[in-house]
Chains A and B, each alone.
Chain A
């Protein structure tokens, strides 16, 4: 499971991202162990916008694929 698998409104816990993923992601608040929710997506489901630690962060699908998550919960 990774971030790109989330459906809108679903939540999951962020796991340790793949090697090479920008540390900026951490610094913006998207850290392993935090709960993340998919809020909405752009046309073609790319980029995707998430909420984590109270901040809304959008990223391209290619990056979302490199961030593993736990099994999603929520609607």
Chain B
């Protein structure tokens, strides 16, 4: 028997209506993240059981304030509902409305009904409604809307069991359209109508086709004015409904949001809370992830060792233990930080505080072409650029997201720290300047440089981008939702989705690059065929990477580096901290403790000058090079994946490295 075509269900509603809580309740762990066709926007979908043996696909569409898109990312909602990309018609819409903010939620839902797609309205936050003293006659509202209206508490699951049967029963509402696009030639519109399509659907469809715009403009006051008329008409209608069906008992209102905000967005106390919180997040990412990261490292090392012991020596074992396993470590090492950061982000978003962070920081980020929304990636970047770049996903303004992705790698991440520590220890004297330790000052300066470079680059790129394409920056309009307790389930699902998509998608490329670099470090032109050895051990200067280091030495010479440092820089591409280990190998330091590396390096003599090889000019040059160069394959992969553009990733790589080169060279020349 032919399998029954399963229903496609779309969830539509304003942001902060409990849409994701409802989605998580309906789908459980049956979720997958993919992309909407044509845009870099995540599409979360899942399966739900409507009746025994009948599964349906639910798509969690992004939160919108209106079906008319104000940004490219909001456009996916209209595109999905109108089936622009022919992914399949949406069979039923679940409209989600926050019971404490019905007015604006019903506005969006009335648009959905006018499309003629069968719909069910689910009103969430039943408990909050009771707290506010709000009583809704939902049966009567349903009568007027021409669809079923359910009141649920998505947090506890109360009333949820009624949703599935209502979806099966849902039929297109037979009502007259709540909005009639007036003032334009209806005959012209009717000519565009396909079959018995609802006129509002025709109207929306024709709006998104540039060919019709001139037509609309000449026969009416323009599409924008019509959109404004629509908003006015719809709100009038919504107010009539609520006037009849919603009763409010203000004496039962126990709202606390505004009181909380008096403290949390207070110019002084609000800033104290904000910086305290950012500090905690920073600390957690920095130190809290240390334990799990060490554990992961140790686990894989011991796994490597047992593989080494069990498998026969030779090419493949060596590849597994020195190429594959380090690559896997490289992927898994980021998991604790990614999980933590997204845990924090989920908590901030779920509670409603995120909008306040954006609100408070907006003014400070504006001169750089960014908004308050870029604060999170900027701060997270001090731990690691990877979760930071991933955190830009919630930005609606595509231009700002692009900027944030482009500049975040400048920020001093924790992988630069071991390199800085080694070089500062070598070339900066341990002395105090006006009571401040000079080494600490240099380190602080490097962090400052990272932020300065990121913001300056953002300002420059913004000017360039806006000279390229004349896009109107969308008006900054931000809803400040009521404070709510975060749902542990939603936080968990967020962490799970983000980490698993990182491991699955970026992970495979990182492992592949790691294996390639292993090959380059383990083999050389004269040793390539030597697979039979128990242990593959090519002197590093005879390996491909060693030869490459010697090859680029003339290029690195003006910066004061010899071939060994060139090799260390090349191998840093796996991850910056590899620099330290590579230096140890190159200078044949016996054990890898930082003190012995330090002692060995400090005793190196420059054959030309007879002085210490790691001189101040060379050290500063190296510090600056590491501050600005893009030397992290994992970041490169994540940039390419998040921006859907290898061009951006590679341009970023070339420009950052070029910039690092020039600055390092200038510093070396100036100080020598």
Contacts of A49 in B (CB 8 A): 261, 265, 359, 480
Contact B104 A59 (CB under 8 A): no
Q: Does B258 sit within 8 A of A, measured CB to CB? A: yes
Partner of B479, one of A26, A41, A46, A57: A57
One digit per residue, 1 when the CB lies within 8 angstroms of any chain B CB and 0 when it does not, for chain A 33-48 equals 0000001111110110
How far does the Cβ of B62 sit from chain A's closest Cβ, in whole Å?
14
Contact A23 B224 (CB under 8 A): yes
- Tally chain B residues at the interface, Cβ within 8 Å: 36
Contact A22 B262 (CB under 8 A): no
Contact A58 B480 (CB under 8 A): yes
Contact A54 B362 (CB under 8 A): no
Partner of A63, one of B104, B232, B475: B475
- Interface of A: prevailing SS: mixed
Interface centre among B360, B474, B479 (most CB of A within 10 A): B479
Residue of A nearest to B362 (CB): A47
Contacts of A28 in B (CB 8 A): 65, 104, 477, 479
Partner of A39, one of B100, B228, B258: B258
Q: Does B363 sit within 8 A of A, measured CB to CB? A: yes
Give the docked Cα–Cα distance between A55 and B109 (Å).
16
Contact B231 A59 (CB under 8 A): no
- A22-B70, A31-B231, A53-B103 given as contacts; is B265 within 8 A of A63 (CB)? no
Q: State which residues 539-591 of B face A: CB under 8 Å.
A: none
Contact A26 B232 (CB under 8 A): yes
Contacts of A54 in B (CB 8 A): 100-101, 103-104
Contacts of B258 in A (CB 8 A): 39
Contact A27 B107 (CB under 8 A): yes
Q: Does B485 sit within 8 A of A, measured CB to CB? A: no
Contact A55 B362 (CB under 8 A): no
Contact B103 A47 (CB under 8 A): no
Give the docked Cα–Cα distance between A41 and B480 (Å).
12
Q: Does B476 sit within 8 A of A, measured CB to CB? A: yes
Q: Does B193 sit within 8 A of A, measured CB to CB? A: no
Q: Does A71 sit within 8 A of B, measured CB to CB? A: no
How far does the Cβ of A65 sit from chain B's closest Cβ, in whole Å?
12
Q: Does A60 sit within 8 A of B, measured CB to CB? A: yes
Give the docked Cα–Cα distance between A37 and B359 (Å).
17
Give the docked Cα–Cα distance between A63 and B101 (Å).
24
Contacts of A29 in B (CB 8 A): 103-104, 107, 235
Q: Does B433 sit within 8 A of A, measured CB to CB? A: no
Q: State which residues 218-263 of B face A: CB under 8 Å.
A: 224, 227-228, 231-232, 235, 258, 261-262
Q: Does B124 sit within 8 A of A, measured CB to CB? A: no
- A43-B271, A46-B363 given as contacts; is B104 within 8 A of A24 (CB)? no
Q: Does A5 sit within 8 A of B, measured CB to CB? A: no
Contact A42 B65 (CB under 8 A): no
Q: Does B68 sit within 8 A of A, measured CB to CB? A: yes
Q: Does A1 sit within 8 A of B, measured CB to CB? A: no
Q: Does B182 sit within 8 A of A, measured CB to CB? A: no
- A42-B265, A42-B360 given as contacts; is B271 within 8 A of A56 (CB)? no
Give the docked Cα–Cα distance between A53 and B106 (Å).
12
Contacts of A46 in B (CB 8 A): 362-363
How far does the Cβ of B375 sit from chain A's closest Cβ, in whole Å?
12
Give the docked Cα–Cα distance between A36 and B90 (Å).
37
Contact A47 B363 (CB under 8 A): yes
Contact A31 B267 (CB under 8 A): no
Contacts of B232 in A (CB 8 A): 26, 31-32
- A46-B363, A47-B476, A58-B478 given as contacts; is B265 within 8 A of A40 (CB)? yes
Q: Does B66 sit within 8 A of A, measured CB to CB? A: yes
Contact A59 B360 (CB under 8 A): no
Residue of B nearest to A32 (CB): B232
Contact B360 A43 (CB under 8 A): yes
Give the docked Cα–Cα distance between A54 and B232 (Å).
16
How far does the Cβ of B242 sit from chain A's closest Cβ, in whole Å?
10
Contact B359 A47 (CB under 8 A): yes
Partner of B474, one of A22, A39, A44, A57: A22
Partner of B227, one of A23, A47, A59, A60: A23
- A42-B363, A43-B363 given as contacts; is B231 within 8 A of A23 (CB)? yes
One digit per residue, 1 when the CB lies within 8 angstroms of any chain B CB and 0 when it does not, for chain A 5-24 equals 00000000000000001111
Contacts of B477 in A (CB 8 A): 22, 24-25, 28, 57-59, 63
Partner of A24, one of B266, B475, B481: B475
Contacts of B363 in A (CB 8 A): 42-44, 46-47
Contact B231 A43 (CB under 8 A): no
How far does the Cβ of A27 sit from chain B's closest Cβ, in whole Å?
4
Contact A56 B479 (CB under 8 A): yes
Partner of A59, one of B68, B261, B266, B476: B476
Contacts of A63 in B (CB 8 A): 475-477
Partner of B104, one of A32, A42, A44, A55: A55
Sampled A-B contacts (6; CB under 8 Å): A23-B231, A25-B475, A31-B231, A42-B363, A44-B363, A63-B477
**Using a CB–CB distance below 8 Å, which chain A residues touch chain B?**
21-29, 31-32, 39-44, 46-47, 49, 53-60, 63
**Using a CB–CB distance below 8 Å, which chain B residues touch chain A?**
65-66, 68, 70, 100-101, 103-104, 107, 224, 227-228, 231-232, 235, 258, 261-262, 265-267, 271, 355, 359-360, 362-363, 474-482
Closest 6 CB pairs of A and B: A27-B66, A26-B231, A56-B480, A22-B475, A24-B70, A23-B227
Given A42-B360, A44-B363, A60-B362, 9 further pairs, Cβ under 8 A: A22-B474, A27-B227, A40-B265, A42-B265, A42-B359, A47-B476, A54-B103, A58-B479, A59-B477
